[in-house]
Amino acid sequence: MISRFLVAAAVMAAVLPSIAFADSTTGTVVAYDRKANIVVLADKTVWTTKGSEKAIPDSLKAGDRVLISFDSPGDDGVREIKSITIQ
């Protein structure tokens, strides 16, 4: 019985790091550079929008309060933005 539990735990530990989890954050945009593909929030987090350009509202600008939905980083440490919603 215990060995089955250990095997199941080992399988979960091997599989979970490769799964991306959906997550979100809110913040105020301090800067948005469309050419450099970067959004900077007031909490000093820097978000790359490269590859997620379609998820960015055309009207996004400094001062906007936003909700960013993203997939949590995988093994490569990259977060993919799913959407940015101006609140």
CATH number at residue 34: 2.40.50.320
In the chain, the largest separation of any two C-alpha atoms, in whole Å, equals 58
Query: Measured between alpha carbons, how far is residue 83 from residues 10, 47, 79 in Å?
Result: 34, 12, 12
The answer, yes or no, to whether residue 73 has pLDDT greater than 90, is no
- The total of structural domains in the chain comes to 1
The residue segments making up the domain with residue 25 are 20-86
* The two structure tokens encoding residue 22: 């959906």
pTM strictly above 0.85: no
Residue 24 located in a structural domain: yes
pLDDT digits (tens, 9 = 90+) for 3-48: 555 545 555 555 555 455 568 999 999 999 999 999 999 999 999 8
51 or 33, greater pLDDT: 33
The answer, yes or no, to whether residue 74 has pLDDT greater than 70, is no
* C-alpha–C-alpha distance, residues 2 and 20, integer Å: 29
pLDDT confidence bin for 67, thresholds 50/70/90: very high
Q: How many CB atoms lie within 10 A of CB 56?
A: 19
